[in-house]
């Protein structure tokens, strides 16, 4: 036997699942999914088939013909969960597993009506990355294996269900007061891209192939915010080839969603914090859209090669932004990424093995390894390759890479081999081995500069000697310019300086969460009391990990702010996603005692 992924029980010597047919009931009262998963194998199988499960109660397993299949759930392993071993009778093509999820399933967040914009109906959404699909479905939960799927989701009236798949109609449910929504996903996906949501939903078309879904209270604002998405898709197509998933829909979730966006194919899941009214945070959409090629089409074989997904996508995102808004915008985006990278190196330490691109995650929970490093160090490696090869040649290489590996899952080593084949000598000339296997940042990392960036960082550096930007100029700054400036302002600050920043930027009243949270982070680190109410508001309403981590970390500097942080977390915890809780708890645990 050989395991193909340190985070899965999937075994190379066993049959591969090729298709999944799911028929489940979404029980909002008990907070469980129950029903049946039918797995179709790539060929007739026999003997052991190991599947990943976590928290699933397995009721029965049977072949297509109804023969009971012996099964055994192994003991729980801390990161992986429980191996479900089926013993398939000779000639098995399909097995049906009747099962139920646990109310604690990490992949699912069940929201009370009070946590939604409408306030009247519950809401459910899934987040399977990195290895949480196994809390939802018994399957080979590794990105090395792809499946197509069909699904029937039964929800109580008046809710509706959506999936990262093609809608295939709906019908009255098996019980009065329920409705069953049908889906078909013809393109094979890795398990972490399986996604569903259910709630009171409305939709608006953005173009013939793009639509935004959200709660009815939010959908009009969302449609205005994302009106430019078709132009973005066309720009991405000019760079990376025809859009391969037919539709590009967006789902705006309630604010507890732990990520900015999740690139579920055909339907990106988004935090509502990207809705600012001025379209200034649509770079999150550029990122998720870019995943349609890098990540979803060409996928990392395991989480040890996550930089292939995120580094390529962050580089692609900035190419889309550059094509849409010019080089200056892209440089500011690289600069904002540089700050995130610096914080990630501080968090792990530059010598940590988690600062390598190609990681060794045996015994490591991928959620603990998650950071900006695969995104920002990875994208810098791509940018270095682009500069060394020249843009035209590198763009041709990227096109060939996407064509060669579409609908497959690859390793870092396979990427390098392909690079050597298509652009011989390039990987050696940029010391690719060091980029992949060494900790910290290689000395030949590309630098992104512009006059505007130097002005802003120079101005921020002179903050300490009392230099302040001219208020009339500040009023004309773009949100990215303001963010770069604020990120470079030193901290902690005296109270008077915090008040000065507030009068210049009005960050307490900001609707743009990037600026709001950066301002609040400065205030938190400075123990500046006038911001406490707003800090509490934000932390009680938003579950996006990108904001929780720095804000809770900044509250760790003073006894008074530490007490505030603990008090806020006690109140916010029930509203946070399980992933967000882990981030906050590890941040609070690092506070000085
Ligand atoms: Zn991404």
3-state SS, 482-520, equals HHHHHHHCCCCCCHHHHHHHHHHHCHHHCCCHHHHHHHH
**Tokens 């509203």 sit at which residue?**
575
> SS3 letters for 410-479?
ECHHHHHHHHHHHCCCHHHHCCHHHHHHCCCCCCCCCCCCCHHHHHHHHHHHCCCCCCCCCHHHHCCCCH
Tokens of 169: 């109609």
Instruction: Please give the structure tokens belonging to residue 289.
Output: 């859209």
Question: Strand, coil or helix: what is 259?
Answer: coil
* Coil/strand/helix, residue 325: helix
Is the pTM here over 0.95, yes or no? Answer: yes
How many alpha carbons lie under 13 Å from residue 570 in its C-beta half-sphere?
5
Taking the centre of ligand 1 as the mean of its atom positions, its distance from the CA of residue 339, in whole angstroms, is 17
Beta bridge partners of 97: 37, 61
DSSP-derived letter for residue 1 is -
- Measured in Å, residue 574 CA sits from the centre of ligand 1 at 27
What is the 563 CA–ligand 1 centroid distance (Å)? 34
| Alpha carbons 324 and 335: distance in angstroms, whole number | 18
The residues near 565 (Cβ < 8 Å, ≥ 6 apart) are 552, 555, 556, 588, 591
- Contact 57/186 with Cβ under 8 angstroms? no
Q: What is the 308 CA–ligand 1 centroid distance (Å)?
A: 10
Phi first, then psi: what are they for 419, rounded to 5°? -60, -45
CA of 283 relative to ligand 1 center, distance in Å: 11
Q: Residue 57 CB: number of other CB atoms within 10 A? A: 13
pLDDT for position 91: 96
Characterize the bridge pairing of strands 267-270 and 249-252: parallel
Residues 6+ apart with CB under 8 A from 522: 486, 489, 491, 492, 493, 498, 501, 528, 554
| Ligand 1 midpoint to CA 43 (Å) | 33
Q: What are phi and psi of 215, to 5 degrees?
A: -65, 150
What was the pLDDT predicted at 283? 87
Contacts of 170-177 with C-beta under 8 Å, sequence gap 24+, read 174/25
* Contact between residue 401 and residue 372 where contact means Cβ atoms under 8 Å apart: no
Measured at the CA of 40, the angle between CA 10 and CA 18, to 5 degrees, comes to 60
**How far is the CA of 568 from the CAs of 255, 574, 575, in angstroms?**
17, 11, 11
| DSSP secondary structure letters along 360-382 | --TT--HHHH-SSHHHHHHHHHH
3-state secondary structure of 529: helix
| Tens-binned pLDDT, residue by residue, of the chain (593 aa) | 689 999 999 999 999 999 999 999 999 999 999 999 999 999 999 999 999 999 999 999 999 999 999 999 999 999 999 999 999 999 999 999 999 999 999 999 999 999 999 999 999 999 999 999 999 999 999 999 999 999 999 999 999 999 999 999 999 999 999 999 999 999 999 999 999 999 999 999 999 999 999 999 999 999 999 999 999 999 999 999 999 999 999 999 999 999 999 999 999 999 999 999 888 898 899 999 999 999 999 999 999 999 999 999 999 999 999 999 999 999 999 999 999 999 999 999 999 999 999 999 999 999 999 999 999 999 999 999 999 999 999 999 999 999 999 999 999 999 999 999 999 999 999 999 999 999 999 999 999 999 999 999 999 999 989 999 999 999 999 999 999 999 999 999 999 999 999 999 999 999 999 999 999 999 999 999 999 999 999 999 999 999 999 999 999 999 999 999 999 999 999 999 999 999 999 999 999 98
CA-based torsion, 472, 474, 479, 480: positive or negative = positive
- Per the structure block, which two tokens stand in for 54? 């976590």
Separation of 375 CA from ligand 1 center, angstroms?
A: 7
pLDDT at 153: 98
Dist. CA 417 → ligand 1 center (Å): 24
Active site members:
288, 375
Lookup: tokens for 252: 């705006």
The two structure tokens encoding residue 315 = 């580089």
**Can you give the pLDDT at residue 278?**
86
């Amino acid at each position: 036997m050989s395991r193909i992924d340190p985070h899965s029980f999937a075994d190379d010597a066993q049959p591969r699942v090729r298709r999944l047919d799911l028929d489940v009931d979404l029980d909002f009262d008990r907070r469980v999914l129950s029903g049946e998963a039918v797995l179709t194998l790539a060929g007739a199988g026999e003997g052991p088939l190991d599947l990943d499960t976590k928290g699933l109660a397995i009721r029965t397993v049977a072949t297509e013909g109804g023969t009971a299949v012996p099964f055994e759930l192994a003991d729980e392993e801390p990161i992986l969960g429980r191996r479900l071993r089926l013993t398939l009778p000779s000639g098995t093509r399909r097995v049906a597993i009747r099962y139920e999820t646990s109310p604690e399933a990490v992949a699912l967040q069940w929201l009370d009506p009070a946590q939604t914009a409408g306030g009247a109906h519950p809401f459910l959404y899934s987040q399977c990355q990195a290895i949480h699909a196994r809390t939802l479905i018994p399957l080979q939960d590794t990105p090395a294996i792809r499946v197509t799927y069909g699904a029937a989701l039964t929800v109580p009236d008046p809710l509706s269900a959506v999936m990262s798949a093609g809608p295939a109609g709906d019908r009255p449910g098996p019980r009065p007061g329920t409705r069953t929504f049908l889906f078909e996903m013809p393109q094979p996906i890795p398990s972490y891209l399986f996604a569903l949501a259910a709630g009171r939903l409305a939709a608006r078309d953005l173009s013939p192939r793009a639509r935004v879904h959200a709660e009815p209270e939010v959908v009009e604002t969302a449609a205005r915010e994302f009106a430019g998405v078709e132009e973005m898709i066309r720009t991405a197509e000019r760079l990376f080839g025809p859009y391969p998933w037919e539709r590009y829909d967006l789902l705006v979730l309630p604010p507890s969603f732990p990520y900015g966006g999740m690139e579920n194919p055909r339907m990106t899941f988004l935090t509502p914090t990207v809705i600012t009214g001025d379209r200034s945070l649509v770079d999150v959409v550029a990122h998720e859209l870019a995943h349609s090629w890098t990540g979803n089409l060409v996928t990392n074989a395991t989480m040890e090669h996550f930089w292939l997904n995120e580094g390529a996508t962050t580089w692609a995102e900035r190419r889309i932004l550059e094509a849409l808004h010019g080089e200056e915008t892209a440089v500011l985006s690289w600069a904002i990424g540089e700050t995130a990278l610096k914080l990630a190196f501080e968090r792990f330490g530059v010598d940590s093995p988690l600062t390598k691109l190609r990681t060794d995650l045996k015994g490591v929970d991928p959620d603990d390894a998650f950071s900006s490093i695969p995104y920002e160090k990875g994208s810098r490696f791509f940018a270095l390759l682009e500069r060394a090869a020249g843009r035209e040649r590198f763009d041709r290489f990227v096109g060939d890479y996407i064509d060669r590996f579409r609908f497959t899952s690859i390793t870092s080593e396979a990427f390098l081999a392909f690079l050597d084949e298509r652009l011989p000598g390039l990987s050696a000339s940029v010391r690719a081995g060091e980029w992949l296997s060494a900790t910290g940042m290689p000395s030949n990392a590309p630098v992104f500069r512009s006059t505007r960036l130097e002005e802003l960082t120079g101005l921020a550096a002179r903050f300490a000697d009392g230099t302040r930007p001219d208020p009339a100029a500040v009023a004309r700054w773009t949100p990215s310019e303001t963010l770069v400036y604020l990120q470079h302002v030193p901290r902690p600050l005296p109270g008077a300086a915090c008040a000065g920043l507030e009068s210049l930027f009005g960050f307490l009243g900001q609707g743009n969460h990037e600026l709001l949270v950066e301002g609040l982070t400065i205030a938190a680190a400075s123990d500046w009391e006038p911001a406490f109410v707003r800090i509490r508001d934000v932390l009680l309403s938003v579950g996006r990990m990108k904001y929780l981590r720095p804000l809770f970390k900044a509250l760790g500097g003073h006894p008074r702010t530490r007490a505030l942080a603990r008090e806020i977390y006690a109140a916010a915890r029930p509203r946070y996603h399980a992933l967000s809780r882990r981030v906050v708890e590890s941040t609070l645990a690092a506070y000085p005692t």
